[in-house]
Amino acid sequence: MKLHRRIVAIAAFLLTLGRGAPDPPTGWAGIGYCGPLKDIAAAKAAGFDYIEVRTSEVAALSDAGYQRLAAQLKQLAFPVPAAYWFLPGEIKVTGPNIDKNRQMEYLHRALGRVARLGVRVIVFGSSGARQIPEGFSKEEAFRQLVDFGKRAGREAQKHRITIAIEPQRREESNIINSTAEALRWVEAVNHPNIQLMIDYYHFSVEKEDPAVILKIKDHLCHLHMANPNNRVMPLHWEEYDYAPFFAVLRQIRYRKLIGLEASTTDLQMDGPKTIALLRRALGR
């Protein structure tokens, strides 16, 4: 009976695509593929549970293009519970040239569009948008980022979306490079629709201790995964020291989404291997 109820719940979730999908059923989790819109059918064929679309790519579509995308996803019955690439580089959120009106216009369009596809979590990486200009005060940039977070949180709440800040390696961003810094921002924004995520690639490059996850587990709402060696798809347990990270995830009973933001030369070959590896690692 439990299996039957789970199947019915997931089927109901899929049927809502394109018309403002509700949150995934309680306990639902999946392994998705992060990629451009052109890869949707390939990701479905490779066996991923969902596709994680690029927010800025969806926002940039013409109205006709957006309708074609919604129709394609509905036809494939392919869920879109998460999105990444939140802000395009020209929508600055730090520095002397921010434009709050432009920020809000973008948020209204982008969040409305991805919400109708079923998105409930958006990863806030967007290194180009949040990069602090040379010579600009880091403290002021953080205040600007907090102000943006408060406004983005209110807009996201209207669409039942959670925005998850992504700590990024120093080579890509000069603000919010660690999980602790991400938590500081989340607490400063203090909005239920502003939380954080962990991208294992950045997490590993910055040499973070997996134990930090225990401190932020109540705010952790999403994960990205890749083999830190060349940011490719993880295929074999022995290729990298994944064990400590997944041990903590099992300890906190992580049951949310995990997206593969990783490169591959053969998605149809590597996709199933990656999915199987992660399911074993997560104890599912």
In the prediction, which pLDDT does 284 show? 73
Q: Do 43 and 33 contact (CB within 8 A), yes or no?
A: yes
Q: Which helix (H) or strand (E) holds 20?
A: none
Best CA proximity match to 123, nearest among 11, 283, 257: 257
Rounded Cα distance, 42 and 271, in Å: 10
Is the four-CA dihedral 217, 223, 227, 228 of positive or negative sign? negative
Q: What are phi and psi of 175, to 5 degrees?
A: -150, 140
Threshold 0.85, pTM exceeds: yes
Is the four-CA dihedral 78, 84, 87, 88 of positive or negative sign? negative
In the prediction, which pLDDT does 283 show? 85
Domain boundaries, the chain: 33-281
| CATH fourth-level superfamily of 33-281 | Divalent-metal-dependent TIM barrel enzymes (3.20.20.150)
Q: 167: phi > 0 → left, psi -120 to 50 → alpha, else beta; which? A: beta
In the prediction, which pLDDT does 5 show? 42
pLDDT in tens, the chain (284 residues): 444 444 333 333 333 333 333 333 334 479 999 999 999 999 999 999 999 999 999 999 999 999 999 999 999 999 999 999 999 999 999 999 999 999 999 999 999 999 999 999 999 999 999 999 999 999 999 999 999 999 999 999 999 999 999 999 999 999 999 999 999 999 999 999 999 999 999 999 999 999 999 999 999 999 999 999 999 999 999 999 999 999 999 999 999 999 999 999 999 999 999 999 999 999 87
